[in-house]
Amino acid sequence: MKLQITLLLICGLYPSALSLKCYQCIPDTSGTCTNTQTVCPSQCGSVTTVVNVAGQQSAISAKDCASAAECVSGSLNLGTMKTTINTQCCSTDLCNSQNPPALPFKSPNGKRCYYCTDKDCSGIVDCLGDEDQCISLKVSAAGVQVTSKGCATRSICNAPTGSMQTAGISGDVSCCSGNLCNGAEGVKISLLFVLVPLLSSFLFL
C-alpha cells in the first residue's frame, strides 16, 4: 500500500518537475514587447538580432521557450542585408530575464559567395568573421517564391526550419563550404519582400 501511494505521488509530481517557467517577450511590429511568463518543456531562450540593410541598422530582442537546436549564434550576409544573431539558452526558472548583447559585424575573412540583387544572383560578396559557408535560400511566403544567396556561419545553416513553417513560410536552405559554391542563377523577387517573416524564424516563432 505504501508503495502504491509513493508511485502515485511520483506520477503526480513528475509533470510539474518537468515544467520550466520562462519569460516570454515577442516583439510587435514596432519592435517592442512586454515580459510575460510561460511554461516551457526544456529550456528558456533569449535572442538579439541586428539587421543592416543598405547601411541602415536596427536591433530587436525576443524571449520564449527554446530547444537545444535553436540556441544559435552567428551571422548571415546576403550582400545588401547583413544579420547577426546572438541566442542564449538556460534551464532554470525565469533564467532568460536579460537580453543577450548584440554581436558586431566583423571584417572580411577571405571567403567569397554569390549573392542576389533583384533578379540577378551573379554578385559576389565577401564573407565576414566566422561565416564559413555559402548559403542558398529558396522560400515560399504568401504564394511568392523568393531566392537569395550569401554567406553564413555553420550554426545558422544547421538551425531547424520548422519554425519557418509556423510563420507561414516553407522552403529550402542549402549550404556548402567551397568558395563561390552556391552558384549563380536568376530569381523572381527581392528577398526584402519577406525580410520580416524570414527573421521571425530565428526568434523562436
Q: What pLDDT is stored for residue 101 in this prediction?
A: 95
Average pLDDT along the chain: 79
Three-class DSSP category at 120: strand
Cell digits of residue 158: 544547421
Model pTM score: 0.75
Give residue-wise pLDDT tens across range 171-180: 678 899 999 9
**Is the residue at 126 inside a domain?**
yes
**Is the residue at 47 inside a domain?**
yes
Could you give the number of structural domains in the chain? Answer: 1
Q: Residue 62 and residue 22: Cα distance in Å, rounded?
A: 12
Give residue-wise pLDDT tens across range 64-90: 999 888 888 999 999 989 999 999 999
Between 160 and 155, the more confident residue is 155
Residue 11 buriedness (CB in 10 A; 0-12 / 13-18 / 19+): exposed
Cell digits of residue 87: 541566442
Q: What pLDDT is stored for residue 163 in this prediction?
A: 46
**Is the residue at 205 inside a domain?**
no
**Is the residue at 71 inside a domain?**
yes
**Is the residue at 8 inside a domain?**
no
Give residue-wise pLDDT tens across range 43-57: 999 999 999 988 889
Between 94 and 200, the more confident residue is 94
Q: Is the pLDDT of residue 14 over 50?
A: no
Q: Which domain range does residue 92 map to?
A: 19-200
- Please say whether the beta carbons of 74 and 133 come within 8 A: no
CATH of the domain at 25: 2.10.60.10
**Is the residue at 55 inside a domain?**
yes
**Is the residue at 9 inside a domain?**
no
CA-based torsion, 154, 156, 162, 164: positive or negative: negative
